[in-house]
Amino acid sequence: MSKTRKFRLGAFIQATGHHVSAWRHPDAQIDAGLNFEHYKEITQTAERGLFDAVFLADSPGVWGGTPQTQSRNGKIVHFEPITLFSALSAVTQHIGFVATASTTYEDPYNLARKFASLDYLSKGRAAWNVVTTGNENAAQNFSLDRHPDHSQRYERAQEFVEVVKGLWDSWEDDAFIRDRESGIYFDPDKLNILNHKGKYFSVQGPLNVGRPPQGYPAIVQAGASEAGRELAARTAEVIFTANQTLEDAQEFYADVKGRLAKYGRSPDDLKIMPGAFPIIGRTESEAQEKYEFLQSLIHPDVAWGILRNYYKGVDLSPYSLDDPAPELPGDTNTNKSRLKLVTDLATRGNLTLRQLYLSLATARGHRTILGTPESIADQLEEWFNNGAADGFNIMPPILPTGLDDFVNLVIPILQKRGLFRTEYEGKTLRENLGLRRPENRFATDRKNERLVVA
C-alpha cells in the first residue's frame, strides 16, 4: 500500500443538491428527499469515484422560517440517516456512511446501539457525525421549553461521546466463543459493565450489540467554535469544516492539529476536510453561466429568509437588497462558528445584502469553486499541499448531475496527479481513511494491571 499522502473525499449528499434552490433546477431529482432510488444512484456513483464516504447532515426538527419561506424549501423532508444508510449498505461494498446524530436530543444508549448495528450491517463502514444541534426549533419536539445554551450543549457532548465509546467497549473483540460442544456462548470475563455516573448521564450497560467491527464507528465532527475545536481535538477523527480563504483554512488546520498532543493524539489521528461546492464547466465561461443560472432560481422570499437566519433579532425591513450589509449580531445560541464565518465574509468583502445572500445560497458559507475540471483540481490541490486540508467534503450543487460531473471529470485528474486512490485500500472506513482501530478500554486496563503486578 502506497504511503504517499492522498486526498480523503466525502460526498456530502443533500437531497436535490446543496444550492438553496437546487430543487428548481431542471437537472435535479425533484422528490429526492424521499426517493430511495435517488440515494442509491448517487451513493453508487460516489463509490465508483472511490470516495471514502457519503455524508448526510440531519437535524431533529424543521429549520425555522415563516410558512411562506418554508414552502419554498426543497430540502424540508428527508430520510433519517441511520435508516437510509442501513438500506444503502446492502447495495454497496466499499463506501463509508457518515450519519449525523445529536448529543443534545439523543440518548447515549440508543445511539450507541444504532451505530453499532449500522457498523455490523455495513461490515465496518459506519461513522457518527457528532453534533450538538444549532436548530432552536428542535427543543419543543423533545418536551423542552427552550434550546440548551451553547456551552451546556458542548459540555454534555463531551460526556455523551465518552459514554457511547464505553458502551461500544461492553464486549471485547473475542468475547463470543459460541462453542456448541461446551455450551458456552460468551466468555463472561470479557463482558464489561460500564456503570457510568456523570453530570448528565447515568448509564449502566452493557450494550446488547457486540463490539462494532471497527472497534468504534469513526467519529466525525463539524463544529469550529472554540468549544467545537476543543471537542474535536479530544474526540474527533474527521472534521468537516467551513473555510472561505486559504489563510483561514491554514489557521484552523494548525490550531486544531496543535491541540491533539495534550490528549495523547498525533496529527494523523485527525483528518480535516473542508467543504467544497464545485461548479464544473468545460470552459470557465460555461462554469460561470451555470453559477449564474443557479443563482437566478432564488426566490426573493428565500433570499430574505437566508438573511434573517443570520440577522436574528435585527429588523431588516428598512433595508433593500442593494444596501450595504448591516452589522451582524455579535453572538448566537445556535451555530457560533457559522455566524463568525458569515460576519467575516460580509465585512471582508464590504458586501451588500444581495451579495451576502448570493454567497450563502450556494454552500451556506463553505467554499464555492468554479472552473474547468483542471481548475477545480488545481484549487483543491493548493489547499491540500499548503497545510489547509487532508481532503474535502464535496458538496454537489445539483444532484445527481453535480456528483456525476465531479466523478467523471475531476477524479481522473486527481488520480493522474497521484493525489487520489485508484482502488480502495481496505475493507472498513477506518482502513480507507488511514485511521487506527481503537483498543477496548477495559481490555487495555486489565493488560496494564497485569503488567504492573508482574
- From CA 351, how far away is CA 391, in angstroms rounded? 29
C-alpha torsion angle, residues 252, 253, 256, 257 (rounded to 10) = -160
Distance of CA 364 to the CA centre of its chain: 14
Domain range enclosing 213 = 8-284+366-453
Query: What are the beta bridge partners of residue 176?
Result: 186
Contact in structure between 125 and 95 (CB atoms under 8 Å): yes
Q: Is residue 68 part of a domain?
A: yes
- Segment 40-76, tens digit of pLDDT: 999 999 999 999 999 998 888 886 666 666 677 777 8
pLDDT in the model for residue 2 = 46
Average pLDDT, the chain: 91
β pairing state of 184-186 and 196-197: unpaired
- From CA 9, how far away is CA 192, in angstroms rounded? 36
- From CA 365, how far away is CA 332, in angstroms rounded? 16
Residue 124 CB coordination number (10 Å): 20
DSSP track, 147-168: PPPHHHHHHHHHHHHHHHHHHH
pLDDT in the model for residue 3 = 63
What's 162's domain CATH number? Answer: 3.20.20.30
- From CA 384, how far away is CA 189, in angstroms rounded? 47
Is the pLDDT confidence value at 316 over 80?
Answer: yes
- Segment 83-136, tens digit of pLDDT: 999 999 999 999 999 999 999 999 999 999 999 999 999 999 999 999 998 788
φ and ψ of 100, to 5 deg: -85, 135
Q: Is residue 127 part of a domain?
A: yes
- From CA 160, how far away is CA 52, in angstroms rounded? 26
3-state SS string for 198-234: CCCCEECCCCCCCCCCCCCCEEEECCCCHHHHHHHHH
Residue 69 CB coordination number (10 Å): 19
Q: Is residue 432 part of a domain?
A: yes
Q: Is residue 434 part of a domain?
A: yes
- Segment 393-431, tens digit of pLDDT: 999 999 999 999 999 999 999 999 999 999 999 999 999
pTM over 0.85: yes
The mean pLDDT value for 325-333 works out to 78
Place of cell 447515568: 202
Please tell me the number of Cα atoms within 13 Å of 348 on its side-chain side.
Answer: 10
Q: What is the DSSP letter of 56?
A: E
Total domain count for the chain? 1
- What is the band of 450 on the pLDDT scale with cuts at 50, 70, 90? low
φ and ψ of 285, to 5 deg: -70, -35
Contact in structure between 369 and 276 (CB atoms under 8 Å): yes
Q: Is residue 326 part of a domain?
A: no
DSSP track, 400-448: THHHHHIIIIIHHHHHHTT-S-SS-S-SSHHHHHT-PPPPPHHHHHHHH
β pairing state of 196-197 and 202-203: antiparallel
Q: Is residue 302 part of a domain?
A: no
Is the pLDDT confidence value at 335 over 70?
Answer: no
Cell of 398: 445539483
3-class SS at 95? coil
Residue type, 62: V
The mean pLDDT value for 431-444 works out to 95
- Which of left, alpha, beta for 158 (phi over 0: left; psi -120 to 50: alpha)? alpha
- Among the listed residues 231, 241, 311, the one whose alpha carbon sits nearest the alpha carbon of residue 276: 241
Contact in structure between 136 and 213 (CB atoms under 8 Å): no
Element (H, E) at 300: helix 300-310
The mean pLDDT value for 292-319 works out to 87
Distance of CA 330 to the CA centre of its chain: 26
Q: Is residue 385 part of a domain?
A: yes
DSSP track, 266-278: -GGG-EEEEEEEE
Place of cell 433570499: 303
Q: Is residue 314 part of a domain?
A: no
Element (H, E) at 308: helix 300-310
Residue 446 CB coordination number (10 Å): 15
